A and B are shown apart, each in its own frame.
Chain A
Amino acid sequence: MVARPARRGGDVRAALTGYAFSAPYLILFLVFLALPILASLVLSFTDFSLGDLTAPLGAPFIGLQNYAKLFSDDNFRQAALNTAYFTVVGLIATTVLGLVAALGLNRALGRLRSVFRVGYYLPTVTSIVAIAVIWRFLLDPNFGLINGALKQIGISGPNWLGNPTLAMPCIIAMAVWRNLGNVMVLFLAGLQGIPEDVYEAARIDGATPWRELLRITLPMLRPTLLFVAVITSIGYLQLFEEPFIMTQGGPLNKTLSVSMYMYREGFSYFHLGYASSIGYVLFVVIAAVTALQFRLLRND
């Protein structure tokens, strides 16, 4: 009887302490992350432009017009195609190569394993801006290392980033190069989680290494595979820095990505409403792709 009110008082105090500890994070989180996500949706129904910044309340509401315009916009269609191309090819190449690298590293290389792991991981931690700048120099048709090396063996190399067919594959190659290590390290962690006795049992049954891979390793790696696929596609769908620095979206808009198109519409021409609708479509696509991957790769 006596204890109760005291406890209730304690509850209030505990609750207040809880909120006090959460407050600094939550205020920043709500203002700078949660709210903008909602505001983005609202903005996408308006014709918000440069003049509206001084009087944001006056931005005209135009319903679904931005979205309607998106579907008849050739540039957006091109950007969506390019982004899909980049994501699909990049994702497959990164995952397969990362898995192969991890499998080899997991089995074969004793003491040198950590050297290779650190080495392969290196590009992942470095700035994409720096890497894009370096690769642009590597691929320079006249002064770059690649065409220089080709010249040594008598081949006149192509104009990599200036060629509409080659530019995107170059950007994909660079993305694979940069993310391979990260994916490999993730797979390595996943492989180390597979108990050794499962393999031993299989070996007693006379399984070949190939069957081991198909029957044991891959199924057991499913959660890792899911994780790799999700974070890699989220990252790839937001392609921006590489074309921004290496090609400016050209040649012939063949490397224009959705994020870049959004940036251009938003911050070159200040069609903020339209840019928001592009951003929101990208968001929905990312959410859908993630959900799809969960469906396909989830254990049962």
Chain B
Amino acid sequence: MATTTTTAAKTAIAAGRTGGRESAALRRSLIYIGYTIGLVLVAGPFVWMVAGAFKTAPELHRIVPTFLPAEPTLDNFNTLFQKLNFPLYFLNSAVVAFFVVGANLLFCSMLGYALTKLHFPGRDKIFLLVMATLMVPSTVTLVPLFVLMSAIGLVNTYAGLILPFAAGPFGVFLMRQFIGSIPDDLIEAARIDGASELRIFRSVVMPLCGTPLATLGIFTFLASWNNFLWPLVVSTSERMYTLPVGVATFSIGQHSSDYGTLMAGSVLLVAPVLIVFLLLQRYFTQGIAMTGIKG
């Protein structure tokens, strides 16, 4: 009796174990399936966008939509480039992003250096002041910034698009964090050698900052490229439209159901960002690990 029970118990345990292994495998594949479905949901709209960009107008207005283009065409891109001013919007976006990124890299690391390696009165207060604005929503400054830009005649200029974003608090936080971790000895040694602070900054500190600069550069580029509300307000004429303003403006009004052109415009808007993201995604992971701030 006793033996049978133990054998039964043993088989039960054994069965339970293999059953456990099986159910673990099952659970694992269920999880895989779940995540793959999630991935399809995430990618779906992008595929729909790209497919839409290559569809003809009649196909886009078919009552039962097709998923992939039946007769792929470049017409929508031709419209963007020939009838509309998309190359100009693209150029504007690129110019603005270039200067915004450059200014942030330079000015934020300079301040980061000053805040950690130079001693002067008010240093910590400056840092606190800058950090206090980290959480200020951009909507608050929208109206006074416009009044300011209007007063100094910078509405509808590159300067008007660039200056409000040339010095962001996030970059100071990041660069101060990193430069602070560079050993003081390294800098003292250079000082003893008689190097000027500018020289130390340029040839000792900056060469060590590759990773945080890359991270800051990428996040700033993304924020600038995708920025919408301020460019919408400050670019009063088409000459200064950035790509998001151009796409948004085109999407309101008589072209709002011209989905082919809109999808082609979205492709142009999204593609550079995706390329940057996929090529440099290790910096994203680092950036997120470091600060957790999104682009």
Contact = CB atoms under 8 A, between A and B. Distances in A.
Q: Do chains A and B touch in the complex (CB under 8 A)?
A: yes
Interface of A: 11, 14-19, 21-22, 24-26, 28-29, 31-37, 39-40, 43, 48, 53, 56, 101, 104-105, 108-109, 112, 115-131, 133-138, 140, 142-145, 148, 151-152, 177, 180-182, 185-186, 189, 224, 227, 230-231, 234, 237-238, 240-241, 244-245, 248, 259, 262-263, 266-267, 272, 275-276, 279-280, 282-283, 286-287, 290
Interface stretch (B5-13, B75-83, B106-114): B106-114
B65 A283 contact: no
Which secondary structure dominates where chain A touches chain B?
A: helix
B135 A138 contact: no
B191 to A, nearest CB: 10
B164 A133 contact: no
A133 B251 contact: yes
Given A18-B118, A125-B222, A143-B60, A241 B228 contact: yes
Interface residues of B, number: 99
B49 interface: yes
A177 B32 CA distance: 19
Nearest to B29: A108
A31 B149 CA distance: 11
B70 interface: no
A245 B123 CA distance: 44
B98 interface: no
B65 A145 contact: yes
A25 B274 contact: no
Given A186-B288, A189-B288, A109 B35 contact: yes
Interface string B273-295: 11001100100110011001111
Contacts of B137: 234, 237-238, 282-283, 286
B133 A33 contact: yes
A145 B262 CA distance: 15
Interface string B35-52: 100110111111011001
B147 A128 contact: no
B107 A25 contact: yes
Interface stretch (B15-23, B138-146, B180-188, B206-214): B138-146
B138 to A, nearest CB: 7
B42 A142 contact: no
B128 interface: no
B141 A36 contact: yes
B110 to A, nearest CB: 5
B65 A120 contact: no
B96 interface: no
B151 to A, nearest CB: 6
Given A14-B119, A32-B163, A185-B288, A134 B49 contact: yes
Contact of A112 (B32, B63, B133): B32
Given A231-B294, A245-B248, A287-B135, A137 B263 contact: yes
B137 to A, nearest CB: 5
Nearest to A266: B143
Interface in B242-273: 243-244, 247-248, 251-252, 257, 259, 262-263, 265-266, 269-270, 273
